[in-house]
């Protein structure tokens, strides 16, 4: 009897294993034909370091002038190497500096009157020198200012609603609507996930429809939004690359079209976003069980030959395992690294993937030895030790409440 039971259990395990493999194979076969597939899995064991010198060739710093008119908090930097201006969205206000760090002006006034705004989203068209501002209390309009801070009109369209992403691409506005349920159901634009908008003609060039729809009756269902885990966007070589968690496909965006580019295949580690919506009547919700053993893509960055992903795996014990995946677009191979990039250029601070590019660095955090990025590189020889002295000199001559420093990392052309 025991032998028969063991045989039965063994056969059952084999059947389950085969079923899982077939299910995975069928899922892949359903994806867009001909597209490459990036298959991401949790890496095992101790991960190697990704060194900054492997992917970047230079890093420089700009100290922003501090005046009574511009006392900055945390914010987002808008920078182009081809422009003489830098724009910063900080505390829902817009500030303009030149590339030496000198303060130029504050743009607009806070409020809800004509040409006033409380800044929610900003897109900067450096080529045509236009600022596109979506106000916090706006719904279907975007304000425009020139680089001299003068208002130049309003764009009004019922398809423009509460952006999750707002950016420019070759004089067009690229716009991703927020996934909040009532927006998707109550406004026309809610049925568009991402769209390209021509601001001169006030018309839609093309759009990507939503692939997930919430229940209509918000009184019976409650939705749990995972902030920051829905979308990822990267700009490279006059194109944008967009991924949304509701669908595995990553898209390439140009001035003329949006097209499938690659498949992000997470298999059993993909979070089922239907689980963020539950019936209130039968309300039982354990976040750890719903999210556990799922991989979330927090950000990505394209280079000439690679795609870098910042990922984390949610574990059952409420902890998360963060890691970086680097996909080679030429040989289709993927490698995994520790989530902090070791700074072997100037050695001052370790970096997260989101810090590759242009960022604000607060003086008080840079001086705080308990700050997480004070995990300095001690393993590898420095490629640009003089930059370390440059930053240290800036910090030594800065007060805690001075305006931040801008860091600019230049990626390698051959990476």
Q: What is the pLDDT of residue 304?
A: 96
Name the pTM for this structure: 0.86
Establish if 170 belongs to a structural domain.
Answer: yes
How many other C-beta atoms lie within 10 A of the C-beta of residue 57? 16
How far is Cα 104 from Cα 61, in angstroms, rounded to an integer?
19
Q: What is the pLDDT of residue 324?
A: 97
End-to-end Cα spacing for the chain: 62
DSSP 3-state of 76 = strand
Cα 129 to the center of its chain, rounded Å: 24
The total number of structural domains in the chain stands at 1
Establish if 199 belongs to a structural domain.
Answer: yes
pLDDT in tens, the chain (415 residues): 445 444 444 444 444 444 444 444 444 334 456 899 999 999 989 999 999 999 999 999 999 999 999 999 889 999 999 999 999 999 999 999 999 999 999 999 888 888 889 999 999 999 999 999 999 886 788 999 999 999 999 988 877 777 888 999 999 999 887 766 666 666 666 677 888 999 989 888 998 887 666 666 666 666 655 545 578 899 998 999 999 877 889 999 998 899 999 999 999 998 877 666 665 555 565 666 677 888 989 899 999 999 999 998 987 766 788 999 999 999 999 999 999 999 999 988 888 998 899 999 999 888 877 665 556 667 899 999 998 889 889 999 999 999 999 999 999 999 9
SS3 content of the chain, % helix, strand, coil (to 5): 20, 40, 40
In contact, 264 and 232? CB cutoff 8 Å: no
In contact, 401 and 73? CB cutoff 8 Å: no
Establish if 345 belongs to a structural domain.
Answer: no
Establish if 166 belongs to a structural domain.
Answer: yes
Q: What is the pLDDT of residue 10?
A: 46
Closest CA to 403 of 101, 193, 2, 92: 101
Establish if 129 belongs to a structural domain.
Answer: yes
Establish if 164 belongs to a structural domain.
Answer: yes
Establish if 413 belongs to a structural domain.
Answer: no
* Bridge partners of residue 90, in order along the sequence: 75, 93
Q: What is the pLDDT of residue 38?
A: 95
CA-based torsion, 378, 300, 325, 230: positive or negative: positive
Establish if 392 belongs to a structural domain.
Answer: no
Structural domain including 155 reads: 109-148+150-285
């Amino acid at each position: 009897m025991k032998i028969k039971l063991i045989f039965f259990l063994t056969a059952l395990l084999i059947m389950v294993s085969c079923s899982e493999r077939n299910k995975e194979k069928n899922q892949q076969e359903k994806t867009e034909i001909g597209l490459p597939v990036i298959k991401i899995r949790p890496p095992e064991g101790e991960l190697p370091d990704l060194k900054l010198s492997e992917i970047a060739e230079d890093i420089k710093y700009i100290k922003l002038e501090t005046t009574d008119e511009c006392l900055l908090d945390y914010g987002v930097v808008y920078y182009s190497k081809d422009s003489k201006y830098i724009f910063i969205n900080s505390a829902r206000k817009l500030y303009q500096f030149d590339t030496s760090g000198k303060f130029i002006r504050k743009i607009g006034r806070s409020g809800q009157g004509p040409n006033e705004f409380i800044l929610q989203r900003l897109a900067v068209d450096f080529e045509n020198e236009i600022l596109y501002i979506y106000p916090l209390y706006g719904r279907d309009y975007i304000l425009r200012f020139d680089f001299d801070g003068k208002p130049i009109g309003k764009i009004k369209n019922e398809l423009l609603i509460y952006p999750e992403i707002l950016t420019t691409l070759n004089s067009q506005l690229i716009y991703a609507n927020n996934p909040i349920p009532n927006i998707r159901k109550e406004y026309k634009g809610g049925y568009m996930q991402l769209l390209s908008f021509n601001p001169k003609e006030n018309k839609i060039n093309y759009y990507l429809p939503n692939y997930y729809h919430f229940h209509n009756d918000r009184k019976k269902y409650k939705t749990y939004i995972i902030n920051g885990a829905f979308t990822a966007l990267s700009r490279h070589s006059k194109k944008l690359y967009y991924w949304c968690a509701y669908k595995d496909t990553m898209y390439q965006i140009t001035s003329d079209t949006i097209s499938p580019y690659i498949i992000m295949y997470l298999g059993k580690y993909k979070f089922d976003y239907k689980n963020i919506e539950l019936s209130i009547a039968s309300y039982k919700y354990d976040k750890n069980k719903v999210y556990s053993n799922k991989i979330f893509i927090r950000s990505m960055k394209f280079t000439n030959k690679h795609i870098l992903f910042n990922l984390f795996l949610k574990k059952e014990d409420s902890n998360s395992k963060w890691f970086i995946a680097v996909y080679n677009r030429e040989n289709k191979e993927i490698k995994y690294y520790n989530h902090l990039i070791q700074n072997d250029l100037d050695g001052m601070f370790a970096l997260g993937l989101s810090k590759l590019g242009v960022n604000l660095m607060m003086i008080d955090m840079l001086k705080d030895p308990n700050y997480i990025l004070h995990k300095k590189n001690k393993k590898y020889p420095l490629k640009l030790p003089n930059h370390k002295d440059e930053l240290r000199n800036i910090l030594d001559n800065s007060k805690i409440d001075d305006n931040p420093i801008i860091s600019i990392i230049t990626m390698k052309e051959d990476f």
